[in-house]
Amino acid sequence: MGDFTPFPVIGKPEPLLSLVEVSKLYDGATPFLALDRVSLDVREGEFISIIGPSGSGKSTLLHLLGCLDRPTGGEVFVQGKPLSAMSDDGVADIRRDTIGFVFQAFNLAPTLNVFKNVELPLMIRGVPQKERQETVSRNLETVGLTDKAGSMPWQLSGGQKQRVAIARALANNPKVILADEPTGNLDTKSSREVMDHISSLCRDRGLTVILVTHEQNLAGMADRIVRIVDGRIAPEARKKGERRRFA
Ligand SMILES: Nc1ncnc2c1ncn2[C@@H]1O[C@H](COP(=O)(O)OP(=O)(O)OP(=O)(O)O)[C@@H](O)[C@H]1O
Ligand SMILES: [Mg+2]
């Protein structure tokens, strides 16, 4: 009789994004270690918020998670594949197909109306017109801006502009939305409105969301809070439902 072969172990699915002991050293006259051996797994469908003081490394972390930059130490894995093994073109493909970005400054093209702003990434990808039309309409509906399709960015409120930016980030049907202080320029009501859209994307569409914010009431809407201090993850991270342990 042969050796006993155990049943294959069916493990947890691969994290969507994974940082393993990742560091980022900004080189220059005074080199600065912005991230120091950070490890983080992001699973599909998770809503994570990243908090921490100004200059602690939040945006740097988000840039690495979004494959906008490469680490100077450690490894970034996207769906189990190491970034260091990919060419710059390969990384650009991953970014385009997997990740949608929403930043604090709305970055809408000022001379294009709402519809065309959301359509832009699809044009760049060479998507045929009929499909572009359908996708833009669907995404504008998702963020509740169907009636503003013909408006110019200057005719919109801050919250509406940010929702256009979300619709645009959704254009390529990404797996994950990375948002860096998306409500930083907004009043409380608009912030809430934008956050409600972001959290419903996660809940209803199973989208993965990683949100950098300094507002703790917004951070609290996430499943998990990751706190960065001096380029390292602080141990106060909590799961939803647990008592808050950070001040
Ligand atoms: N290109 C760069 N060259 C040198 N240092 C940099 C560079 N970019 C960022 N840093 C430094 O790295 C540290 C982390 O910056 P980062 O932008 O990640 O902070 P942050 O947590 O997003 O801050 P904030 O809340 O103010 O946006 C800061 O001390 C910053 O000065
Ligand atoms: Mg920042």
Asked whether residue 41 is assigned to any structural domain, the reply reads: yes
What local confidence, expressed as pLDDT, does residue 197 receive? 85
| Domain membership flag for residue 149 | no
Q: Is residue 141 part of a domain?
A: no
214 C-alpha to ligand 1 centroid (Å): 15
CA of 128 to the centre of ligand 2 (A): 36
Q: Whose Cα sits closest to atom 27 in ligand 1?
A: 54
Q: How far is the CA of 226 from the centre of ligand 2 (A)?
A: 14
Residues in the chain: 247
Q: What is the CATH number of the domain that holds 189?
A: 3.40.50.300
From the CA of 65, the nearest ligand is 1
Rounded Cα gap, residues 217 and 214, in angstroms: 9
Q: Which domain holds residue 213?
A: 17-109+158-239
Asked if residue 144 is part of any domain, the answer here is no
Asked if residue 38 is part of any domain, the answer here is: yes
Q: What is the DSSP secondary-structure string of 62-130?
A: HHHHTTSS--SEEEEEETTEEGGGS-HHHHHHHHHHHEEEEESS----TTS-HHHHHHHHHHHTT--HH
Distance CA 225, CA 178 (A): 14
pLDDT of residue 199: 86
Q: How far does residue 130's CA lie from ligand 2's centre (Å)?
A: 38
Closest ligand to Cα 57: 1
Count: domains in the chain: 1
Q: Is residue 69 part of a domain?
A: yes
Test site for ligand 1: of 25, 30, 32, most ligand atoms within 8 A of the Cβ: 32
Tokens at 220, concatenated: 């609290």
Pocket-testing residue among 49, 51, 59, ligand 1, by greatest number of atoms within 8 A of Cβ: 59
Residue 9: inside a domain: no
List the pLDDT tens digit at each of the 247 positions of the chain.
Answer: 555 555 555 666 789 999 999 999 999 899 999 999 999 999 999 999 999 999 999 999 999 999 999 999 999 999 999 999 999 999 999 998 899 998 876 689 999 999 999 999 999 889 999 999 999 999 999 888 999 999 999 999 888 898 999 999 988 889 999 999 888 777 888 888 888 888 888 888 889 999 998 888 888 889 999 999 999 999 864 555 555 444 3
pTM (2 d.p.): 0.85
User: Is residue 102 one of the residues assigned to a domain?
Assistant: yes
